[in-house]
Amino acid sequence: MKTLEILVTGRVQNVGFRSCVRRIAMNLAISGKVMNLADGRVQIYATGEPVVLEKFTSMLYSCPVAVIRDLAVHETGYVSFPDFSIQRGIYQYGI
């Protein structure tokens, strides 16, 4: 098991992208979280088996309406998540 941080750039906010990411993660039994960032990117933390994480990353491009320009994928220290959740970005609403 390993954990990835994925930063997604493009038209990925206000198009249902986070819901699509969660649906893909749940279908692949990946745990983690997804949230919008203030700069327009989406940040994903995903924990799972390496081969499944590769499939997850490639499937992100299948989200309808979203236009992904770049995926920056970095392995982080292992993090155990109870499930896969959609979170509000810390800065998204000026909080």
Return d(Cα 70, Cα 31) in angstroms, integer: 22
Q: Give residue-wise pLDDT tens across range 37-63.
A: 999 999 999 999 999 999 999 999 999
Mean pLDDT taken over the chain: 92
The full set of domain ranges for the chain reads 2-87
Q: Residue 23 half-sphere exposure, CB side, CA atoms within 13 Å?
A: 10
Return d(Cα 8, Cα 69) in angstroms, integer: 8
Return d(Cα 82, Cα 63) in angstroms, integer: 24
Q: Are the C-beta atoms of residues 6 and 57 closer than 8 Å to each other?
A: yes
Q: Are the C-beta atoms of residues 47 and 78 closer than 8 Å to each other?
A: yes
* Active site (catalytic) residues: 18, 36
The correct CATH number of 2-87 out of 3.30.43.10, 3.30.70.260, 3.40.50.360, 3.30.70.100 is 3.30.70.100
92 vs 29, which has greater pLDDT?
A: 29
Confidence (pTM):
0.91
